[in-house]
Amino acid sequence: MPRKPKMQTSNDLIRENCEWPMTAGQVAKLTGVTTRALQHYDEKGLLCPERSGEGVANNRKLYSPEDIDRLKQIVVLGSYGFELKDMPPILDGERSLTDALADRIEELRAQERYLQHLILFARYAEIVGDDLFETLAFGTSEVDAFAELVRSSPAYAGKAVRWESMDDAGLEQLWDELGAIIVDFLGGDEEDPFAHIESTVQRLRAWFCTYFFEVDDLDLLGIWTLFEDGSEEAEFASEVGGEATPGFLQSAVFLVWLKSMALELSAMIEGGVGGDAQPSISENQVVFLVDFVCRSCGYPVPEAAELDGEGWATMVEFFETVAGYLQNAFEDKEIATLIDPDGESVVDGALFERMAQAAREVELFPERG
């Protein structure tokens, strides 16, 4: 049975129909690669053709068919996203293209996960009302104030006492556990990213409860402030995952906290506190909501006998901040979908705005004339 004739490739046609060797100008005309690019490849040691020789017509570069083959490989690798510095092992046969592509795909997936975290962080910055670029560089201004408040609390101060009593093995375990959580968090989950975020926050909560103090789903802001600029935990997170990691962790905790708070308030409203059925919120309901939000978030609420006008004003201010966060979140359709994917919540941005307005109008301690 006669053999089928071998198909000619473009390389074969070039070899047969071109005059060799070629000058840089001829190669540029043939391939579309500029002479400047050819010069750059030569300088980087990727494509170094023979020369015509010292003292011979400007010592021009002379390209062989093998050089053209190598040039094609450089162009293809560049189109796949490989940097010039990573090409020599592949071009020289020291590393297979299949292995290199597999590694490149994993790099691209890591970049995709990073961008997903960055997008959530950008939305987080918008929710708290901060400039994105300032937030990327310095953190959120709202968190700064709240972090100071939380760190001055007796519960948080107990951290230092607890950590001082731990031996080296205990401290090593503490940081190892946190590092494992951070690494898994940055790994992401392509199928359900937000479920992965929620899982991470629950692991952070368990870690926080072990080494700090007990918190519940509505009191996650203590963990939120944990990764504020300058803290040991923030510096550690940066070492593990890069400079942006503390901010990514903060945005994750913040969004899970928003979801918990929104669903809890939704249940309360369905039970009779405000809502569409009650366009006006009574003073008692407002006082209850302000007290509930402050206490559940870990804000230090004075005892009733010690509460005065100034104390109430600071509680209202904190409540307004939380209501503003929730309002902004529900006005962002993508964040609202993350928080309430099944549309079960009865709250919306307008309701939180109304709550904040009602809180501002309550006068528990009217000034006496």
Mean pLDDT value across the chain:
81
Those residues whose C-beta lies under 8 Å from the C-beta of residue 176, and which sit 6 or more positions away, are none
Residue 344 has pLDDT above 60, yes or no: yes
Per-residue pLDDT at 136 exceeds 50: no
Q: DSSP character for 140? A: -
pLDDT value for 341: 79
Is the pLDDT score of 4 beyond 60? Answer: no
Q: How many CB atoms lie within 10 A of CB 328?
A: 18
List of E strands, the chain: 50-51, 61-62
Joined together, the tokens standing for residue 145 give: 């104030």
Give every CB contact of residue 132 below 8 A, 6+ residues apart in sequence.
122, 125, 126
- Average the pLDDT over 291-299 and give the result: 83
CB 30 within 8 A of CB 22: yes
The 10s digit of each residue's pLDDT in 189-240 is 777 888 999 999 999 999 988 888 788 777 787 788 788 777 889 999 999 9
* pLDDT at res. 164: 77
Q: For residue 35, what pLDDT is reported?
A: 94
What is the distance between the alpha carbons of residues 60 and 72, in angstroms, rounded to a whole number?
Answer: 21
pLDDT exceeds 70 at position 140: no
* pTM attached to this predicted model: 0.70
Q: Domain ranges in the chain?
A: 16-95, 112-258, 261-361
Give the integer Cα–Cα distance in Å for 215 and 262.
17
CATH architecture entry for 16-95 = Orthogonal Bundle (1.10)
Q: What pairs with residue 51 in β-bridges?
A: 61
Q: Where are the alpha helices (DSSP H) in 190-244?
A: 193-211, 221-224, 232-241
Q: How far apart are CA 354 and CA 284, in angstroms?
A: 15
pLDDT in tens, 12-70: 667 777 888 899 999 999 999 999 999 999 999 999 999 876 554 566 889 999 999 99
